[in-house]
Amino acid sequence: MTDSAAVGHPVAGARQRGLRDGRSRQEWDMSTQVSEEVREALHEGRPVVALESTIIAHGLPRPRNLAVALELEELVRAGGAVPATVAVVDGTARVGLDRAALTRIAEDPAVRKLGHRDLAPALAAGATGATTVSATAWLADAAGIRVFATGGLGGVHRGWTETQDESADLRLLARVGITVVCAGVKSILDVPATLQRLETLGVTVVGYGTEHFPGFYLSSSGEPVDWTLRSPAEVAGVIRAQDRLGGPRAALIVANPVPVAEQLDPALHDRVLAGGLAEAKEKGITGQAVTPFLLEYLTVHTEGASLEANLAAVRGNVRLAASIAGAYGTGAY
């Protein structure tokens, strides 16, 4: 069921004719393996939902991360879609992982964190790594997948005027026409600055059932959104409108709040986050390590409450993504 083949199989309906950048399908297949199940679903126009793997390898504690990875795939299936978890395994980018690959991503501490810019060196070195939103969106889009679910996007970090730390997620989402269902951006970030950057980059942001941008662990960040959608059919309508418009491609961010009953207590959130940011600064934590450090700090110092809120958010996003993929149906390309 989850067997893969490296070359020579058609992917994604009309897109098998060639890629936007002029490479042949076969050239692309040499570097990227789409699992047989995902390939068939795309070929037949059945709904597929991409899932990232950094949340598994670097965003959640072991051994719970493997159980969550499997649960998220099950949730996609229960929603009538095929899951396509993305990662790089021994130098091959893979879209749709089998159980062995998923286990390795979850269990092996040597698994690297790969943003889009890390893909080429990872492939060349034969490395194994988990893909962030930027790398996942790129690979999933190239495979012809239109809907992607995650927890919270990366964005502009607090103190960005000093550190220049802005997640590569934003720039990449300005370049691929994928729909990302998320609980906003991680609340460890500078949320207003991130929303401003998304506006500048031309990335469409809609609130799902809310007039406020969600706050990842929190149901609301307090920031307003310009557009509110209230059903998977309405989201599918926007994706179809993107298709009709053409022009430069950019992502559609569907910001889906964690239910209020499952959010992290806001006062606890603010207090613990302040401690985490101070400790990160003290320890000189920078670059790719910042996000995993803060997520873990919050999990430890809220005694697991932030982890439960994070998981509730991701589960909700995965369910919604499956419904959107179903409502959108075929005819994307």
185 is in an annotated binding site: no
What are 87's strand-pairing partners? 94, 130
Amino acid at 299: T
Q: Among candidates 281, 193, 99, which has minimal Cα distance to 185?
A: 193
Spatial distance between the Cα atoms of 169 and 98, rounded to a whole number of angstroms: 26
Stretch that binds Mn ion, among 18-26, 61-69, 160-168, 182-190 (CB under 5 A): 160-168
Closer residue to Mn ion in complex, CB, 263/288: 288
Among Mn ion, ligand PSU, none, what binds residue 105 when CB lies within 5 to 8 Å by partner kind?
none
Spatial distance between the Cα atoms of 126 and 151, rounded to a whole number of angstroms: 28
What are 184's strand-pairing partners? 215
3 is in an annotated binding site: no
SS3 229: strand
Among residues 27, 44, 52, 303, the one annotated as catalytic is 52
- Is 52 in the active site? yes
169 is in an annotated binding site: yes
Whole-Å CA distances, 137 to 51, 59, 172, 189, 327: 9, 17, 8, 20, 20
Closer residue to Mn ion in complex, CB, 72/156: 156
Closer residue to ligand PSU in complex, CB, 137/324: 137
H helix count then E strand count, the chain: 14, 11
Stretch that binds Mn ion, among 46-54, 132-140, 167-175, 235-243 (CB under 5 A): 167-175
In the complex, the residues that contact ligand PSU under the rule CB under 6 A are 52, 54-55, 58-59, 132-133, 150-152, 154, 167-169, 288, 291, 295, 310, 314
Among ligand PSU, Mn ion, none, what binds residue 263 when CB lies within 5 to 8 Å by partner kind?
none
Task: Look at the alpha carbons of 206, 207, 211, 212 in this order and tell me if their dihedral is positive or negative.
Answer: negative
Among ligand PSU, Mn ion, none, what binds residue 310 when CB lies within 5 to 8 Å by partner kind?
ligand PSU
Among residues 37, 73, 166, 186, the one annotated as catalytic is 186
Nearest-approach distance from CB 167 to Mn ion, in angstroms: 5
Q: Omega of the bond prior to 63 within 30 degrees of 0, cis?
A: yes
98 is in an annotated binding site: no
- Is 281 in the active site? no
- Give 121-153 as a DSSP string: HHHHHT--EEE-HHHHHHHHHHHT--EEE-S-B
Closer residue to Mn ion in complex, CB, 280/318: 280
Residue nearest ligand PSU, Cβ-based: 151
User: Residues annotated in the binding site for substrate, as ranges?
Assistant: 113, 133, 167-169
| Active centre residues (catalytic) | 52, 186
Residues that bind Mn ion (CB under 5 A): 165, 167
